Amino acid sequence: MTNPNGYAPNGSAAPQVPGPQTPSPQSPSRRDRSRHGDKPISGCAIAGCVTGGIGLLTSWIPIFNNVSAIIAVIGVVLAIIGLVATRRKGRKRGRGVAIAAVVISVIAIIIVLVTQNAYVKAIDDAGKQVEASQSASKKAVADRTYTFKATSNGPASAVYTNGGGSHTEDFNGSWQITAKGTEAGEFPGLSVLTSDYSNPDPSGIKVSCEILVNGKSVSKHNGTGSGASAICDVPYDWQETK
- pLDDT for residue 3: 53
* Residues 201, 222 contacting (CB under 8 angstroms): no
Say which residues have a Cβ less than 8 Å from residue 172's Cβ, sequence separation at least 6.
152, 154, 155, 156
Q: Indicate the angle between helix axes 65-85 and 95-142, nearest 10 degrees.
A: 160
Beta-bridge partner residues of 173: 152
Distance CA 108, CA 87 (A): 25
Helix, coil or strand: residue 32: helix
Domain ranges (residues) in the chain: 37-122, 144-241
* Residues 75, 108 contacting (CB under 8 angstroms): yes
What burial letters (b/e) apply to 84-116, b meaning 16+ CB within 10 Å? Answer: ebbeeebebbbbebbbbbbebbbebbebbeebb
Distances (CA, A) of 60 to 63, 115, 122: 9, 7, 15
* Residues 155, 149 contacting (CB under 8 angstroms): no
Q: Does the domain at residues 144-241 carry the CATH identifier 2.60.40? A: yes
Distance CA 141, CA 162 (A): 14
Residue 9: how many other CB atoms lie within 10 Å: 9
- Per residue in 21-70, pLDDT (tens digit) is 555 555 544 554 444 457 888 888 899 899 999 999 988 888 888 898 99
Residues of the chain below pLDDT 50: 1-2, 7, 14, 28-29, 32-36
Name the nearest CA neighbour of 99 among 45, 59, 42, 56: 45
DSSP string, 80-140: HHHHHHTSTT-S-B-HHHHHHHHHHHHHHHHHHHHHHHHHHHHHHHHHHHHHHHHHHHHHH
Name the nearest CA neighbour of 144 among 75, 200, 218: 218
User: H or E stretch including 204?
Assistant: none
Distance CA 84, CA 106 (A): 18
